Chain A
């Protein structure tokens, strides 16, 4: 195979596998809130374990909220999402990038999520912070760090 046809084959494969390919290549990067979040943010959160406790609480509140829980019941997988959200939030709070899931665009592309549903998840995030007794100001660091994903997630 010459170089041109290799490229063409790769391109076709990418198109065929669609989202799967995209997620394999486009796992998320750290976001860049302005001004930056404090360097001790992850520490304030109690490290990766703290983030995990929060993600558990987050899904507790998400699953109680009738504005959004139907989406998660139908298409979500709480166990997997708690695992992946722990990795993602640990990263955006300043930890290492160990995120193994799909990009935010790919993960939410077909869900037709609107602003109210996004805000409902934000409200659940605040409730989860309170549940794990995290200071409100520390909680806002995760909001600052996740906010840049808004346009990737809200497609309606």
Chain B
């Protein structure tokens, strides 16, 4: 206790002054706004929407390595290789004072063979269907995503003796560029906002991070095929449903080393376009199949698809998304994610399961 008291008796004022001086002359204090003081992987990686989180679900953490004393930025590139699509998402984000996160991401989605059938049909019936936004091959969807996230309260990492998680709210504004295609797919809107609330907590005794997100949205396939549903056949006066709904998303990540995590994610998706056909210039799937059968006469298949199944082929479906991921951050400058994404039916094509690679640069 004697030494203890001696230490404690050190004059607080002198001590504080000395610390201030030491701080001023150390390189760290001079760095200003910049900060990369978070512990490895605690800022999450980049989701395809550009927000900090897992692969598809935003977490309550503020992206990058900035603590509450500074600013940190990041860049990301994500590539998902699915049987009929490849998603490229690239963007930038900035984390401000571990409070606010701003992000921008552009997604480009070459659709491979998915819409080739539709494109081919449009080619067969040019005078009838007009511009569908779909080519016979390589139709591409582009979408810009602007995001903001605000940490409300809590600390996902260090409040281990409390049940209170870190809680953030956020929003995206998504601007899908392929208007003609979305008309063909009968989405109600091509631009829309989404809002979400995320709660995140790390359980060190289990070396595991748990995140729950509620996303208020009307997105079809995250907005890549627009928002909501609007019947555009027969003059477009039919049913419309672009109401937003709350959808659940979950991420669980287990750390196996301070720089390595693996886990799983789930994101509930909507059903606005589930079982909805395509619309070609006001002509619905049923009428269309009839017109094609007439136009083609003796021909019984188009692009390998039997005309008997054309009706199914031209009907859209949407499933909830799942993924299994592995994240590795060798240092605070770069991290890599390898995932297996199970996205089910995407518009016209079933079984869209494939690999996902993402890299996240932080500076």
Seen from chain A, the residues whose Cβ lies within 8 Å of a Cβ on chain B are: 18-20, 23-24, 31-38, 66-67, 70-71, 74-75, 77, 80, 100-102, 106, 109-112, 114-117, 119-120, 122-123, 126, 136-137, 140-141, 143-145, 147-148, 150, 156
Contacts and interface: CB of A to CB of B under 8 A. Distances in A.
Contacts of A75: 10, 15, 18-19
A151 to B, nearest CB: 8
Interface stretch (B145-153, B154-162, B310-318, B322-330): B154-162
Chain A binding surface, main DSSP class: helix
Given A136-B207, A136-B255, A115 B161 contact: no
A140 B265 CA distance: 23
A111 B15 CA distance: 8
A23 B8 contact: yes
24 contacts: A33-B205, A34-B163, A66-B26, A70-B26, A71-B19, A74-B18, A75-B10, A75-B15, A101-B4, A102-B4, A106-B8, A110-B12, A112-B23, A115-B67, A115-B69, A116-B67, A116-B69, A119-B67, A136-B207, A136-B257, A140-B204, A143-B204, A147-B158, A148-B158
A100 B4 contact: yes
A41 to B, nearest CB: 9
Contact of B204 (A23, A74, A116, A147): A147
Interface stretch (B31-39, B185-193, B291-299): B31-39
Interface size class of B (residues with CB under 8 A): 35 or more
B5 to A, nearest CB: 5
B69 A140 contact: no
Contacts of B159: 147-148, 150
B22 A33 contact: no
A150 B158 contact: yes
A156 B19 CA distance: 13
Interface in B63-98: 67-70, 98
Given A100-B1, A116-B37, A140-B204, A18 B22 contact: no
A74 B8 contact: no
Nearest to A136: B257
Given A66-B26, A101-B4, A140-B204, A111 B37 contact: no
B37 A119 contact: yes
B27 interface: yes
Contact of B16 (A37, A67, A110, A147): A110
Contacts of A123: 39-40
Nearest to B163: A34
Nearest to B28: A67
Contacts of A119: 37-39, 67
Given A66-B26, A74-B18, A35 B256 contact: no
A31 B256 CA distance: 24
A24 B9 CA distance: 13
A144 B208 CA distance: 11
Q: Which 9 A-B pairs have the closest CB atoms?
A: A116-B37, A144-B204, A115-B67, A147-B160, A148-B161, A33-B160, A19-B8, A150-B158, A20-B8
